[in-house]
Homo-oligomer: A and B are copies of this chain.
Amino acid sequence: MPADTTNVTVTLSCPDRPGIVHAVSGALAAADGNIVESAQYGSEVTGRFFMRVDAQVGAGLAALQDELAPVAERYGMDLRVFPTGAPTRTLIMVSKEAHCLNDLLFRQRAGLLPIQIPVIVSNHTDLAPLAGFYGVDFVHVPVTANAKDAAEDRLRALIVEHEVDLVVLARYMQILSDRLCTELAGRAINIHHSFLPSFRGARPYAQAHQRGVKLIGATAHYVTADLDEGPIIEQDVVRVEHNHSAAHLAAMGRDVETRTLRQAVAWHAEHRVLLDGHRTIVFR
């Protein structure tokens, strides 16, 4: 390989029309690029076209960007080019529950998640020691009814300061303002429990137990102003039995939350998730 060969990941979406793949692959060829893995999809729901490419580029990332710029212009593309495997700078928000945070920190450290975690933000201090063990800055930002705006401004400042690309709400038990949700559109992931059927109100595991559900699940989704209704990235379930108590169900729910959130973060950080209106395209 030439000295400047770089592995790059390209993602794009644009209104669907003929010639997109030909134009993009032409730009790749012009930059001495070889496709390692790629997928495309034309959405019948929104009429948009989606593409993700992993390629080895002999002329380097900057040259590829130069080749792609006029293509993006011509087709009205939302185009992004990343060095493959470059870690996504991720701010994690937590409250008191440790299960998701512990899993994300462990995997990041073990090299199993292509993220960096420059800072953890919490409205409580319970999880500071865990952050400390992994050597990650932990910032306590209390949220009070009167000072919610100030807390969100503090968060905005941390996002800027740490050049954050992704915010993960890892069982963060405060609701973000509509304005902040809109600002973070497509770059904030939340996890919540899910049930068949669904249960409104407090103590959902107690309700699920009394209803005798046989499956409990979790949904990881992008944050939007519609609470728990953003585009779904990943869902999973676990089977429960009649002899599991409500507390046991809640414990199993934490397990399925943990692995569902982890998977969503991994796919996002590998640039495998593209937004198709209210749905996601996941090029697994």
Contacts and interface: CB of A to CB of B under 8 A. Distances in A.
Contacts of A219: 196-197
Interface string A8-35: 0000000011111110011011001111
A243 B41 contact: yes
Contacts of A112: 251, 254
A28 B22 contact: yes
A109 to B, nearest CB: 8
A209 B25 CA distance: 29
Nearest to A111: B251
A282 interface: yes
Given A194-B197, A280-B212, A37 B34 contact: no
A229 B167 CA distance: 38
A245 interface: yes
Q: Most B CB atoms within 10 A — which of A18, A133, A235?
A: A18
A116 interface: no
A61 to B, nearest CB: 16
A84 interface: no
Contact of A21 (B21, B49, B99): B21
Nearest to A45: B210
A83 B102 CA distance: 31
A165 B99 CA distance: 27
A162 B235 CA distance: 42
Interface in A94-116: 98-99, 102, 106, 110, 112
Nearest to A244: B284
Contacts of A235: 196, 213-215
> Nearest 7 pairs between A and B by C-beta?
A212-B279, A22-B25, A21-B25, A214-B235, A38-B40, A194-B196, A133-B133
Given A22-B25, A36-B42, A215-B236, 17 more contacts: A21-B35, A21-B38, A22-B29, A25-B25, A34-B42, A36-B41, A37-B243, A45-B210, A99-B110, A194-B196, A194-B197, A197-B219, A211-B232, A212-B276, A214-B232, A237-B237, A241-B284
